[in-house]
Structures are given as C-alpha cells and as structure tokens.
C-alpha cells in the first residue's frame, strides 16, 4: 500500500479512486473516477477484473463488526464526510480502523462505525 492524495475534492471528488490507487500502489489519476458512473461498483469491478481482482463492500452494525468480519491488512472504509454534510468520503483502513484519509485536509469519517462500509479488494485466484 502506498498512500496517494485525491486530486478532486468536494462533491464529485475522487477519494474512492485515490483509495483504490493507494491499495494498488498507483497514482490517483491512473485510476478511473468510478463514482461518476451510474453503477460505480460495476464500473470498479469491470476495471479491476483485468487485474485479477474484484471489490466487495459490506456495512455492519458497529457492535457486530468484530464478530462478523475478520479484518486483515489494508482496505477501504467509506462513510459520511466530516467536512460536508450529505457527502461521503472514502479512506484507507487497516484491520478495521482508519489509517489514511486521501483528502488533503484529512479528518477521516464522521458518524461512527454504524455508518461505515468496509470494502475489500479480493484476488480472484483465491476463490
């Protein structure tokens, strides 16, 4: 994992692309801006497919998080932005906790873990 900053902020920002770029050790602008498409998960997985990967995300109640998921390594966590109400942010997590926010101002996520989604890059060869 190599942390990289997002290059667009606010509504229409590319924090999720920056997270994927960080996990793949790429530059932000080499990863498409998936969240501008109507079905961002499909667009993400189509792009990742050529790399032998797919993206899976889940939302869990905070009090059940550690019981239901075994967190390992780096992953994406998304949830409410601490900077602007109604806008989501994506950050890099490590073992279920916030590790790096690609937004230049930092700040992580708001709302607590009940409002967070955890996203994982899965190697298709392991299935």
CATH of the domain at 39: 3.90.70
Residue 6, domain member (yes or no): no
Distance CA 23, CA 39 (A): 21
Domain that holds residue 62: 15-126
Residue 3, domain member (yes or no): no
Q: Percentage of residues in the chain with pLDDT exceeding 70? A: 91
Residue 4, domain member (yes or no): no
Nearest Cα to 16, choosing from 78, 100, 74? 78
Nearest Cα to 104, choosing from 1, 8, 2? 8
H or E element that contains 56: strand 53-59
Number of folded domains in the chain? Answer: 1
Higher model confidence: residue 37 or residue 125? 37
What sign does the CA torsion over 101, 95, 121, 61 have?
negative
Mean pLDDT on 49-71: 78
The whole-model pTM stands at 0.91
Residue 63, domain member (yes or no): yes
Higher model confidence: residue 117 or residue 70? 117
Quick one: pLDDT at residue 66? 62
Nearest Cα to 121, choosing from 97, 98, 99, 93? 93
Quick one: pLDDT at residue 96? 82
Residue 8, domain member (yes or no): no
């Amino acid at each position: 994992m190599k942390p990289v900053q997002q290059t667009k902020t606010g509504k229409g920002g590319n924090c999720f692309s920056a997270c994927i770029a960080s996990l793949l050790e790429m530059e932000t602008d080499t990863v498409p801006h998936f969240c501008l498409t109507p079905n961002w998960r499909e667009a993400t997985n189509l792009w990742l497919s050529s790399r032998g990967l797919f993206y899976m995300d889940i939302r869990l109640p905070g009090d059940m998080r550690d019981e239901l998921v075994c967190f390992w390594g780096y992953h994406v966590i998304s949830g409410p932005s601490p900077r602007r109400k109604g806008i989501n942010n994506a950050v890099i997590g490590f073992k279920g906790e916030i590790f790096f926010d690609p937004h230049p101002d930092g700040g992580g996520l708001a709302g607590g873990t009940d409002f967070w989604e955890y996203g994982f890059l899965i190697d298709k060869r392991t299935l």
